[in-house]
Structure 1
């Protein structure tokens, strides 16, 4: 019977660049079977063994001039160059903001009123119901933030309240997002509610001011 032994070798190369201070952090570790094996000391320009068993390999790597020069070149120069390049290429995506469009929806007169915000980017976002100017949490359910087909996001919050109650009180859906100069506030009235047709909602934007 032949016994087979499987070992795991992991090389981790990591660099951080602080855009404000210009400070650079470099990290290059080698792992073996889930444990630290050796790490590169950039200033000393050599690998330091982390276990007794790694001493021979660290010495061998340090003596292989061409191999070591390539590792050192990557961690000191190439890693930061790639990081800056990809940040610049992705700057448009990272910094873009798209304001939400807001809908008040209700399937029928006995179902909850849903405040739906959709089409916004980035995902960081807040949506709440207020009653007479105060945050309202009774009979309120908040859904998860979901991704749209165009990579924007949507989120909804439902309010179960009788019609006579929201006619006597002021219920407002408040949407907050970094793309907005001011919050979107939609007061629950009959004119604002969009009813469904057949099995889905027929939706028309009723918000999205910048």
Structure 2
């Protein structure tokens, strides 16, 4: 029996994590019975809350403690949902339709703003970008303090917004100061939700002896993970097939990566291993390629097939015997019983001498 296949590799270098804050606003025109403006906030890819149909901010349960301690923050969200952003987006989409000679049809204006914060270096990257009708439209470059037009139709907007220095200063404050401060607060209050990490169970699976060996990790959280095969400590890029990260019913995730064994000699198996890495977790899970540890249903399927065949043969024999017995019984019912001796003996018994 070889050593346990799950090994934790303790790295001596720290692994920084980039935390994210995102605000998504969507304005629509020409869609009946659909909200004119929708908004969603997310921290570390987890929903914080959203603006409902009445333009009130509906926070998730883990945000409620924050608003209890800082009611003004909830008022700020309500202001964004009810007055500031709806008015801005409605006027913006009206202006774009007029400028682009669009009077009919469905039109969508979207904005994504927020920041990324590196908890090790302290670096903050803020962003503010717009899309119109499914295409990039305009984005902010904080370094040059200018807007970048993604298409010719956005040049007029760029020139107008570049000239508005108060708007540029406000964007800089939001993206480099306010948003990072909010993100750090949310990470502190919502640590159990936003910084949750669950390590997976890792197994080696194989359908048949000729099939690739699948390294399967399930039960991990969040979905910022990597899974790959190595040979002699070097990551393999050939003879491997990476699967997508898929959700489990309990909110965790699973993924797999297959290794084609056609070019791997049996004596070289010990040179291969599978590595699972979870963002923000320093301990990687390493699974050695070990034939004795591969889980497969090949033997079980073969035994099951043999048992089924035996059962069918027995069933056929039983049916043949039953049919033969029934035929024999029917034949006996049609033929009269044989006399208990010859005819003369029967006659003597029926007519005895007196």
TM-score category, normalised to shorter length: 0.5 to 0.7
Bigger radius of gyration, 1 or 2?
Answer: 2
1:103, distance to aligned residue in structure 2 (A): 0.4
Matched, 1:174 2:237: no
Consecutive unaligned residues in structure 2, runs of 5 or more: 1-29, 44-75, 97-181, 303-354
Query: Which whole-Å deviations, capped at 9, do the CAs of 1:139-189 have from their partners, x for residues lacking one?
Result: 110000000010100000001113852532511101111464421111111
Give 1 or 2: higher strand fraction.
Answer: 1
Which of 101, 125, 133 in structure 1 is aligned with 2:233? Answer: 133
1:90 and 1:163, CA in 2 relative to 1: closer, same or farther beyond 3 A?
same
Matched, 1:150 2:150: no
1:174 and 1:11, CA in 2 relative to 1: closer, same or farther beyond 3 A?
closer
Distance 2:91 2:31 in 1: 7
Q: CA RMSD in A?
A: 3.9
Matched, 1:35 2:61: no
Aligned to 1:10: 36
Distance 2:207 2:42 in 1: 51
Aligned to 1:109: 209
Superposed, which structure 2 residues align to 1:23-62 within 5 Å? 28=85, 29-31=88-90, 34-36=93-95
Distance 2:93 2:301 in 1: 57
Question: TM-score, normalised on structure 2?
Answer: 0.34
Give 1 or 2: higher helix fraction.
Answer: 2
1:137, distance to aligned residue in structure 2 (A): 1.5
Q: Which runs of 4+ in 1 moved over 3 A?
A: 6-17, 24-27, 87-91, 178-181
Distance 1:7 1:108 in 2: 53
1:186 and 1:10, CA in 2 relative to 1: closer, same or farther beyond 3 A?
same
Aligned to 1:93: 193
Distance 2:42 2:254 in 1: 32
What is the number of residues matched between the two proteins?
143
Which of 272, 288, 300 in structure 2 is aligned with 1:187? Answer: 288
Consecutive unaligned residues in structure 1, runs of 5 or more: 1-5, 18-23, 38-82, 200-210
Question: TM-score, normalised on structure 1?
Answer: 0.55
Distance 1:31 1:117 in 2: 46
- Whether the 8 Å CA contact 1:140–1:159 is kept in 2: the answer is yes
